[in-house]
Amino acid sequence: MNQAASRFTLSPPAPFRLDLTVWALRRQAHNQIDSWDGEIYRRAWQYSGNRLEVRLWQTQAGRTPLLEGEVQGNCVDASSVAWVSRQLSWMLSLDQDLRPFYAMAASDLRLAALADRFQGFRPPRFSSLFEALSNAIACQQLSLHVGILLLNRMARLCSNAPEATNSFVPFPNPATLLQLEAASLRSLGFSIQKAKFLHGIAETAAAGQLARENWQGLSNSEAAQRLHQLRGIGRWSTEYVLLRGLGRLDVFPGDDVGARKALYQWLEEKSAPDYTQVAKRLQPWQPYAGMLYFLLLLNRLEKEGHIP
């Protein structure tokens, strides 16, 4: 079947840098779900039974940033292009007003220096709550490197693409994941417990209980209470999903070992704070502790040579 393609544009608030925002989303260079080659962001989705492949790049910066993109697939129409545009706008947080954060940062020399280095970054969000929860489960008690490796394997196994080892593959939808037996997930490297947790999350999503619109009006405590009712979702996973899945910028996952280490190094303290101490240290920067979480991540990625 012939492939169709359609172009679209997005107009982010200024300032905006696609590279910084995508790196904060993908976190690791070997992420095959959110692909970045230094200029073009690539992502694939299953939409209405069709695979859509998306390319997105930045053509203007400064006061009038502009993103241009292309959707390619067997069935590309106005509806699918509009859906992709909404997904990308959500993931890149184009709806978030960050001016209050930068006004606050300007009055704090330490934070201002960090924020200025990564000006144009916007705090990313996962494409869906299902994807956010799956990422949380995969990365529990493992290094981020290994967690994303497991997600890559799962996405490749679930992909309907003829070349499942391409540089980017769609994140599986709940129905596809439910077709995998626990033994198949075990063969990828997931523990039996995590395989059960992933199936449970997929069942919840397939039942419509993870639809984004049903969560956006909830307070942090209300959303956390719902998340805690899901098997395999504890305190760290809950806070991770609040920040990365729902965009709650006042949340800093205090049990995140890497984030805690980055925080105490940035604060030039001798030892890493515990969970309670993290909340106290972050109080001066509320309600934007989550922005600091992302900025510290970018700081690490820059030191590793991923960000020019």
The enclosing domain of 31 has a CATH number of: 3.30.530.50
- Whole-number pLDDT of residue 166: 53
Tokens standing for residue 86 = 């909404």
Q: Is residue 230 a contact partner of residue 204, using CB atoms and an 8 Å limit?
A: yes
* 118-166 tens-digit pLDDT: 999 999 999 999 999 999 999 999 999 999 999 999 999 988 544 445 5
Residue that is last in its domain, among 244, 264, 293: 244
Which residues have a Cβ under 8 Å from the Cβ of 140 and sit 6 or more positions away? 147, 194, 232, 236, 237
Last residue of a domain, one of 42, 72, 95: 95
Q: Check whether residue 187 and residue 238 sit in a common domain.
A: yes
Mean pLDDT of 194-214: 96
Q: Given a cut of 50, is residue 230 above it in pLDDT?
A: yes
CA distance 243 to 93: 12
Spell out a b/e string for 188-207, using b for 16 or more CB atoms within 10 Å of the CB, else e.
Answer: bebeeebbbbbbbbbebbee
**Residue 172 is part of which domain span?**
129-244
Q: What gap in Å lies between CA 33 and CA 170, rounded to an integer?
A: 6
Residue 103 lies in a domain: no
d(CA 305, CA 308): 7
CA distances from 275 to 104, 116, 190, 278, 279 (A): 24, 28, 27, 5, 7
Residue 225 lies in a domain: yes
Residue 126 zone, left/alpha/beta (φ > 0; ψ -120 to 50; rest): beta
155-195 pLDDT, tens digit each? 999 885 444 455 689 999 999 999 999 999 999 999 999 99
192 assigned to some structural domain: yes
How many distinct structural domains can be found in the chain? 2
* 236 shares a domain with 176: yes
pTM: 0.93
